[in-house]
Amino acid sequence: MQKENTYILAIESSCDDTSAAVFCNDKKLSNIIASQKVHEAYGGVVPELASRAHQQNIVPVVNQAIKEAGIEKYQLNAIAYTQGPGLLGSLLVGASFAKSLALALDIPLIEVNHMQAHILAHFIDDEAQKKPEFPFLGITISGGHTQIVQVDDYFTMKVIGETLDDAIGEAFDKCGKMLQLPYPAGPHIDRLAKEGNPQRFQFSEPKVDGLNFSFSGLKTAVLYFLRRETKANPNFIKENITDICASLQYTVVTILMNKINKAIKKTDINRVAIGGGVSANSGIRNALINAQEKGKLEAFIPKFEYCTDNAGMIAIVGYYKYIQQRHLDNSRENLQLASARSKF
């Protein structure tokens, strides 16, 4: 007998992207993302403005997702939404909308952990990406989080390392602000780094035990370095921007790769699956591919669309919870992902 299709609508609104996706089983039918430009002028996400923009975007984004999927609302089997972690006001917009629609359609509501979604995004059935076998190391790197997660099964995960202060994307964005680059600076640093000399300037690596990270020291080191250099030459940044970006990116990539290698040694797991906006970084991708070519690890790099915050990753978790009937008892999860330190 042919298995029936499961249609899931997913909503993600944890930070500054309003997103809705429709999945048929583990395949994407649509994945709409409305990024909020309003924060650019402030050099960072302004929570109050984010919630207001979600309020404006949520109805058109969900409508477009359903339309693009080519289905009718009554065909949906369940609605999944990001329950946390994230900005409270932003989360509330997605949660209230998802709850109301699930109630109106009389279908199950599935709550999804945002961090778990970044990891399970690898299981979206898409020819542009391969699915890791269990166990693997999930590396979630974005503007709000930096974690190394041991993933034993879809819903059995353990955080084995995380940042003690700033997230890796925050390090890119804050250093970029000092370099007068637009927000978010990560992609600009990546682009400029390609033209620069990564060995030109040295920034010391933080000394943090075990598998944890720290990026606030790097930010301060860059600040003092720029203060010193611009005092001697006010045009220093302009004249050396590519070398500064290349050196900074080289340092960040080295910090990350050292911890990944340490995690591989400690766990004896060499499948490494990255996720989160910073996994778009070409320095990180190249370092992983190089390590793979040397036989040190097997790298899993998701399609860019599934790296940054998007509802597709919420839909895939919703799908697995639905088929395993986990949505009937959300408290069954043994999730340690939303630790006190992760802001998202």
Shortest distance in whole angstroms from residue 323 CB to ligand KG4: 26
Edge-first strand order for the sheet with 156-162 is 156-162, 146-153, 136-141, 271-275, 298-300
Q: Can you give the binding site for ligand KG4, defined by CB under 6 A?
A: 15, 142-144, 169, 172-173, 184-187, 190, 276-278, 280-281, 308-309, 344
- Residue 143 interacts with which of Zn ion, ligand KG4, none, CB < 5 to 8 Å by class: ligand KG4
Please tell me the distance from the alpha carbon of residue 53 to that of residue 51, in angstroms, as a whole number: 5
Residue whose CB is less far from ligand KG4, 138 or 277: 277
Q: Can you give the binding site for Zn ion, defined by CB under 5 A?
A: 142, 309
- Residue 19 interacts with which of ligand KG4, Zn ion, none, CB < 5 to 8 Å by class: none
- Residue 313 interacts with which of Zn ion, ligand KG4, none, CB < 5 to 8 Å by class: none
Shortest distance in whole angstroms from residue 143 CB to ligand KG4: 3
Helices H / strands E in the chain, number of each: 10, 10
Residue whose CB is less far from ligand KG4, 270 or 310: 310
- Residue 187 interacts with which of Zn ion, ligand KG4, none, CB < 5 to 8 Å by class: ligand KG4
Shortest distance in whole angstroms from residue 61 CB to ligand KG4: 16
Question: Which residues contact residue 153 at a Cβ distance below 8 angstroms, ignoring those fewer than 6 apart?
Answer: 134, 135
Whole-angstrom CA distances from 305 to 30, 273, 293, 317 are: 11, 15, 25, 16
Shortest distance in whole angstroms from residue 150 CB to ligand KG4: 21
Residue whose CB is less far from ligand KG4, 161 or 276: 276
Q: Which two structure tokens, joined as six digits, stand for 149?
A: 């997660």
CB 252 within 8 A of CB 166: no
- Residue 184 interacts with which of ligand KG4, Zn ion, none, CB < 5 to 8 Å by class: ligand KG4
Which among 131, 142, 138 is positioned nearest to 158, based on CA atoms? 138
Shortest distance in whole angstroms from residue 141 CB to Zn ion: 10
CB 134 within 8 A of CB 152: yes
Neighbours of 262 (CB within 10 A): 14
